[in-house]
Amino acid sequence: MPRAMPAPLQLLFPPFSLPLKYKPHPISHLTSVRSSILYPPAVCGNSSTASPHITTPPPPPSSIYIHLPFCRRRCHYCDFPIIALGSSSRHYDDDPRINTYIRLLLREIRATKPYSSLQLPIKTIFFGGGTPSLVPPRLIASVLDTIRTKFGEVAADVEVSMEMDPGTFDAGRLEEMVGVVGVTRISLGVQAFQEELLRECGRAHGRREVDEAIELVSGSYGPRSWSLDLISSLPRQTEEMWEESLRLAVSAGPQHVSVYDLQVEEGTKFALLYTPGEFPLPAEAQSANFYIMASETLKHAGYEHYEISSYCKPGHECKHNITYWQNQPFYGFGLGSASYINGVRFSRPRRLKQYEEFVKDLEAGHMSAKNNASIVVDKEMAMDVVMLSLRTAKGLDLKSFQRSFGESLVLSLCRAWRPHVESGHVVALDEERKAISIGKFDLELNGDCQLGRRVAFLRLSDPEGFLMSNELIAVAFGVLSP
């Protein structure tokens, strides 16, 4: 269990012992202003991330991820921890498997010790899956109730997101979810508008369900914000199909669009059948083209490309996902879910049986960090910050990064990326977020003057830089963890 882990280490690093390295704890600089006030960065910080809360307790999480693993069937590209219920029955509301799971989930939430007495109101809750819309609204409500009991009343502007699949809800259910239970944001898993592609992916719905679902979600029962999710580079997907999907997506009028690029994951049906870049999957150039098409079409339709695979109308960012990209802590509950609390990342068991045992251990209070828990050390923290922030249009905040990880690291990072700044894949921005030319970048890189006088942010360009993000992040990793 995440928080059980640092306990013995506290003895090893008593407060005010000789610091191993003189460095304030990074998290404190990367959190919101409000939490910085509550937890001012400690100047005399102990650098050991194993015991950050001794001198500088990181902020408590104000985001919660809930995993609801039920699906009618497994899609051919999916490698998430899910439980396929089988598509024979259309009525899952009394399915004992769902009831049992939710009971287990509630036990986990109850057994979790709140981070501290200073628990802040929860600001985002995300029901991911799986297909959370298969879970009856009353059970979702019971989860939210338990959260309130455990962590106190949620923030007034709380974002409650839920992934929903076409064909899993009708008007009544939607109304109940949004109006009664309190879901404020829906992420609609459309994936494609073409019957043949939906079939190819093994989706449990067809085009008709897609159209119905869009009509419902964008209608009067729908939430104030919803996202339409698409997948590009599907097998046998043509440029015409993609163009059509993008066009229909825009005309559906969601506030948010997520465009995922198909990843052929090990162990999936697709991995058995296909090789990336080879027919029937689109060639790399074609796949890059799909990405560029999405970026251009959606920008043209008034969407901001605020993260590698996310587009939104102004003000409709997914607040929950932003928690991740800002490397802020979050709770995670349910099968296979990940949490990041107190500098410890922990992934729950992906199998139901082990998950049940985990919950029992947690209740019994003898949770040891036996599996999947890892203390994020400084180096990894820097890597996480770079990796996550570069996914966003905002990019890497150099000043904050420098405060946390030192000037020399920022310098080497800039040096490593210099060729990419020159090639235009990486954009250097000043305080006003105006792009800085390579000449001026060089001046600052080679000049005696302190770095950061002018360059305030580094971001990946859209779309070329985003398309190469792995490559560019790997270059940065080479600097951070040689």
For residue 458 the two structure tokens come to 């580094």
Q: Which is nearer to other proteins, 54 or 388 (CB)?
A: 388
Q: Which is nearer to other proteins, 211 or 477 (CB)?
A: 477
CB of 465 to other proteins, least distance (A): 10
**Strands 185-191 vs 344-347: parallel, antiparallel or unpaired:** unpaired
If we measure between CA atoms, which residue out of 157, 229, 148 comes closest to residue 186? 229
Binding residue (CB under 8 A) for other proteins from 9, 141, 260, 363 = 260
Show contacts with other proteins in window 188-207 (CB under 8 A): none
* Choices 8-16, 104-112, 335-343, 446-454; region in contact with other proteins by CB under 8 A: 335-343
Handedness of CA 408, 411, 413, 419 (dihedral sign): negative
Q: Are 356 and 104 in contact (CB under 8 A)?
A: yes
Sequence-ordered alpha helix ranges (H) in 135-228: 137-151, 171-175, 195-201, 207-217
**In sequence order, which residues have a C-beta less than 8 Å from that of residue 129 and are 6 or more positions away?**
67, 68, 69, 70, 71, 80, 82, 163
If we measure between CA atoms, which residue out of 435, 391, 372, 444 comes closest to residue 415? 444
Q: Is 226 in the site for other proteins (CB under 8 A)?
A: no
Binding residue (CB under 8 A) for other proteins from 37, 43, 156, 285 = 285
* Choices 5-13, 194-202, 209-217, 331-339; region in contact with other proteins by CB under 8 A: 331-339
As a whole number of Å, the CA-based R_g of the chain is 23
Q: Which is nearer to other proteins, 365 or 478 (CB)?
A: 478
Binding characters for other proteins, 354-393, by CB under 8 A (x = yes): --------------------x-----x--xx--xx-----
CB of 238 to other proteins, least distance (A): 18
Residue type, 217: V
DSSP assignment of 423-472, as one string? HTSEEEE-TT--B--HHHHHHHHHSSSPTTSS--EEEE-TTHHHHTHHHH
HSE-CB of 420 using CA atoms within 13 angstroms: 25
Binding residue (CB under 8 A) for other proteins from 271, 338, 377, 445 = 338
Binding residue (CB under 8 A) for other proteins from 340, 358, 401, 417 = 340
Q: Is 419 in the site for other proteins (CB under 8 A)?
A: yes
Q: Which is nearer to other proteins, 217 or 318 (CB)?
A: 318
3-state secondary structure of 102: helix
In angstroms, rounded to a whole number, what is the distance separating the alpha carbons of residues 46 and 109?
Answer: 31
Q: Is 284 in the site for other proteins (CB under 8 A)?
A: yes
- Beta-bridge mates of residue 256: 227, 312
Show contacts with other proteins in window 306-325 (CB under 8 A): 308-309, 324
Enumerate binding residues for other proteins (CB under 8 A): 65, 126, 128, 258-261, 263, 284-285, 287-288, 291, 308-309, 324, 327, 330, 332, 337-340, 345, 347, 374, 380, 383-384, 387-388, 419-420, 423, 425, 466-471, 473-475, 477-478, 481-482
